[in-house]
Amino acid sequence: MNIVTTDLPDVFIIEPLVFGDERGFFFESYNERNFLQATGVTARFVQDNHSNSVRGVLRGLHYQLHHPQGKLVRVVHGEVFDVAVDLRRSSPTFGQSISCVLSAENKRMLWVPPGFAHGFLTLSETAEFLYKTTEYWHAGDERSILWNDATLAIDWPLQNITPTLSPKDLAGIAFNAAEMYA
């Protein structure tokens, strides 16, 4: 696997080694030993999630306050614009974000560490999004920051896309009013 560093030192883009021929392809989507060796991240994954979204669905920016989740995310069908935002007040990159395109074609994965908010916008007609988490989902602990918060100024690729949001995401709070990590 190839590890691509980002402007946020704890966030990695992971490019798996893909073996392909006329029959199709094969790659390891996760190998604990190789992940640790390549990133230095000791992650114990406890839950796998799978979502399907249509073009224009924007999910996020989500995080859990008391049970922060690290997420290893990837797309197995379609394409998304993926975003991670550092919510750790003690971090030198607090309030900064990183974004990348994840797709079934590029097979890239993104490691979003605990202490970050996460969200994505579906760019293709449909997208199937898979992610492993280091903590279980706790409904009462989940928070949502406004996807279009002016302080964060995330440059979502909205050309010809009107975002569709859940009621929870429509009610997201401003970054400056959000509860954060220490």
Exactly one of 67, 131, 138, 181 is catalytic; which is it?
131
* 131 part of the active site: yes
SS3 76: strand
Active site residue 30: no
Among 14, 145, 142, 119, which Cα is nearest to 68's? 142
Catalytic residue among 62, 66, 67, 77: 62
Three-state SS at 36: helix
ω before 61 within 30° of 0 (cis)? yes
Instruction: Please provide residue 39's backbone torsions phi and psi, each rounded to the nearest 5 degrees.
Output: -115, -25
Residue 100 near residue 82 (C-beta atoms within 8 A): yes
Enumerate the active-site residues: 62, 131
